[in-house]
Every structure is written in C-alpha cells, then in structure tokens.
Amino acid sequence: MDNPIRLHWLDPRDPRQPFPPAHLAMREPNGLLAIGGDLSTPRLLNAYAQGIFPWYNADEPILWWCPDPRAVLPPEQLHVSRSLARRIRRRDVEIRFDSAFDAVLAGCAAPRQGTRGTWLGADMQRAYRQLFAEGHAHCIEVWRDDRLIGGLYGVAIGQMFYGESMFSAETDASKLALYWLCLHLRAWGYVLLDCQVYSPHLGSLGAVELPRDLFLERARPAAQRAGHPGRWKFDPTVAE
C-alpha cells in the first residue's frame, strides 16, 4: 500500500521557515504544497521567490500552491486582438500605475457574476497592502473621467512579475491594463508574467503552460536579478 500524501504544515511563529520542495506538491488538487503559516511579508516574499503563492477561501487555513503545469505570459508574447488594438488606438482612458492600490484590491475582491464571496479576504488584502507599502506589490489602473474602470495587481520579485488578479467594470478594461503592464515589463527586462493557472481567456491573450520544473528553472534565477525599484510610474513612450 502506498504511503499517504501528507501536507507540510507551516509554523505561524516562524515566518522564515523554509517551504518544502515543489516536487512534493499534490497532484490533486493540483499544486497544493503546504498549509498554515502566516501572510507576513518575509514569508510571502520567500514564497513568491520560489514560485509559490497563497490561495484559499476565508473559511479555510492558509493554503500554499505551486501547480504543474504553470501558466505564464512572456511579456513580448501578449496577443493583441483586432478589437483590443482598436480600443488601444482610441486613447479614451487614462492609465496610472500604483496610485490606487486599495481601490484595485477592492475591485478584484468584489464577487463576480455567478459566484458568491471571494477568495481575496480581509487577511489577504491586508497582506498585499503591506507588500505594496514596502514596494513589492504593484497595480495598473484604467481610469475614465476619474472613475476606476479596471485594473490588475501582482507582486514583483527581481525580474519576475507574479500576477494575482484583475477586474473590469467596462469591456476590455483589464485587457488594457495587461497590455500596458506587458509593455513596461518588456522595457524593463522582466522575464515572465506569472498567471498561475491556465484558462482559455488567458490563452487568448498569449499565455502558455510550462512544466513546473521549466517554470522554476526560469523564474527562480529571474527573481534574484535586479528589478524595477520603487513605486512604478506609467510611461506612454514604451509603446513607441
């Protein structure tokens, strides 16, 4: 009889506790690696630097994941459809970086149509606000007439950007945020935009799946390189 799979428990009193090797993650559910711990900045930075991220519902303990395969979007491979290209050319919105992180979090946390509740609970929001305050998390915002209509946020470690969530209050708003993010990441030399888990929607934008070993082979060295420090600022010339 095979030995049962046991999840690795993390001690909430030790935020610098090492994570188990990624190959020990469960196959079902895909990528579940550890449970427990806390959402302190040291633990989150340690996790992201190793390609691990938290994802859990408010009524669950903290769950840590490293799925196989991994969905990624190389910044230079973003697919711009004809309709999105037309929307970009209209220049009828304003793009801002890092000016309304709390509002972007709230937009991403709002329940989606056909669902109840959100995985982005109060504890998660506090943790990402702290990452933002310390310069590790960033947001891309789409505004119309001083009204936030879409955006996304994620965590930057070295030359890796770990995308977390996006939202749209108008058609294509989150795609516009993704377009401008990819242009900046490409200009700054970032290696990959991590999308975590593949979906047909992400695939239509150019995301692909990499075997976990290959993803980690590319992501971990990139996370050790110098990234783009400080608060991010929108630069329209990256499109030229």
The reported pTM is 0.94
**CB 186, CB 76: distance < 8 Å:** yes
State the Cα torsion 115-162-146-102 to the nearest 10°: 70
Q: What percent of the chain has pLDDT over 90?
A: 90
**CB 26, CB 32: distance < 8 Å:** yes
Tokens of 37: 């711990």
**CB 133, CB 94: distance < 8 Å:** no
| Rg from Cα positions in the chain | 18
Q: DSSP label at 238? A: G
Length of the chain: 240
Summarised one tens digit per residue, pLDDT across range 76-101 is 999 999 999 999 999 999 999 999 99
Domain residues of the chain, as ranges? Answer: 8-67, 71-239
- What pLDDT does 116 receive? 44
Place of tokens 């970009």: 88
Confidence of residue 103 (pLDDT cuts 50, 70, 90): very high
Summarised one tens digit per residue, pLDDT across range 201-232 is 999 999 999 999 999 999 999 999 999 999 99
Task: Spell out the CATH class of 71-239.
Answer: alpha beta
Summarised one tens digit per residue, pLDDT across range 138-150 is 999 999 999 999 9
> Hey, what CATH topology would domain 8-67 get?
Alpha-Beta Plaits (3.30.70)
Does pLDDT of 117 surpass 80? Answer: no
Buried b (16+ CB within 10 A) or exposed e, 137-151: bbbbbbbeeeebbbb
Residues 6+ apart with CB under 8 A from 197: 67, 71
Tokens of 19: 């994570």
Instruction: Give the N- to C-terminal CA distance of the chain in Å, as an integer.
Output: 62
- What pLDDT does 151 receive? 98
Q: Please tell me the distance from the alpha carbon of residue 202 to that of residue 212, in angstroms, as a whole number.
A: 18
- What pLDDT does 7 receive? 80
